[in-house]
Amino acid sequence: MYFKKLPVLKNEPVNEEYFILGIRDKKIVENIKPGQFFQVKDSKAVFPLLPRPLSVYKVEDDRLEFLIKKVGESTNNLSLLEEGHIVQLLGPLGNGFPLVQDKKVLIASGGIGYAPMPFLEQKLKEAGNEVWFYHGGRSSNDVFCEDVQNCTEDGSCGHTGFVTEHIEKCFDSTDIDVVYACGPEPMLKVLVSLCSSRNIPVYVSLERVMACGVGACCGCVIKIKENGSFVYKKVCKDGPVFDGAKVVWDE
Ligand X SMILES: Cc1cc2nc3c(=O)[nH]c(=O)nc-3n(C[C@H](O)[C@H](O)[C@H](O)COP(=O)(O)OP(=O)(O)OC[C@H]3O[C@@H](n4cnc5c(N)ncnc54)[C@H](O)[C@@H]3O)c2cc1C
Binding site for ligand X (CB under 6 A): 37, 48, 52-55, 66-69, 71-75, 112, 115, 207-210, 240
Q: Name the phi and psi angles at 116, rounded to 5.
A: -80, -5
> Is residue 147 packed enough to be buried (19+ CB in 10 Å), middle (13-18) or exposed (0-12)?
exposed
Q: For residues 190 and 211, which CB has a smaller minimum distance to ligand FES in the complex?
A: 211
Task: Considering the complex, state which of residue 54 and residue 220 has its C-beta at the smaller distance from ligand FES.
Answer: 220
Point out which span in 29-37, 119-127, 185-193, 215-223 binds ligand FES (CB under 6 A): 215-223
CB of 113 to ligand X, least distance (A): 8
Positive/negative CA dihedral, 239, 243, 249, 251: negative
Give the one entry of ligand X, ligand FES, none that residue 37 binds, where binding means its C-beta sits below a cut-off of 5 to 8 angstroms depending on kind. Answer: ligand X
In sequence order, what are the residues at sequence separation of 6 or more whose Cβ sits closer than 8 angstroms to the Cβ of residue 46?
Answer: none
* HSE-CB of 223 using CA atoms within 13 angstroms: 7
Strands 229-234 and 221-226: antiparallel
- Taking the complex as a whole, the smallest distance from the CB of residue 93 to ligand FES amounts, in Å, to 10
Interface with ligand FES, residue 45, by CB under 6 A = no
Among the listed residues 25, 219, 223, 224, the single contact to ligand FES using CB under 6 A: 219
| Residues 6+ away with beta carbon under 8 Å from 88 | 3, 4, 5, 6, 40, 41, 42, 43, 51
Q: Minimum Å distance from CB 48 to ligand X?
A: 5
- Which is nearer to ligand X, 200 or 247 (by Cβ)? 247
Nearer to ligand FES, 127 or 218 (CB): 218
- Select from ligand X, ligand FES, none the partner in contact with residue 68, using the beta carbon and a kind-dependent cut-off of 5 to 8 Å: ligand X
Give the count of alpha carbons within 13 A of 11, CB side only.
17
Helices (H), 80-210: 117-126, 163-173, 185-197
Q: Is 12 exposed, middle or buried (0-12, 13-18, 19+ CB in 10 A)?
A: exposed
Interacting partner of 213 out of ligand X, ligand FES, none (Cβ under 5 to 8 A depending on kind): ligand FES
Q: With CB cut-offs between 5 and 8 Å by kind, which of ligand FES, ligand X, none does residue 48 bind?
A: ligand X
How far is 107 from 34, CA to CA, in rounded Å? 12
Exactly one of 59, 93, 167, 220 binds ligand FES (CB under 6 A); that residue is 220
Binds 115: which of ligand FES, ligand X, none (CB < 5-8 Å by kind)? ligand X
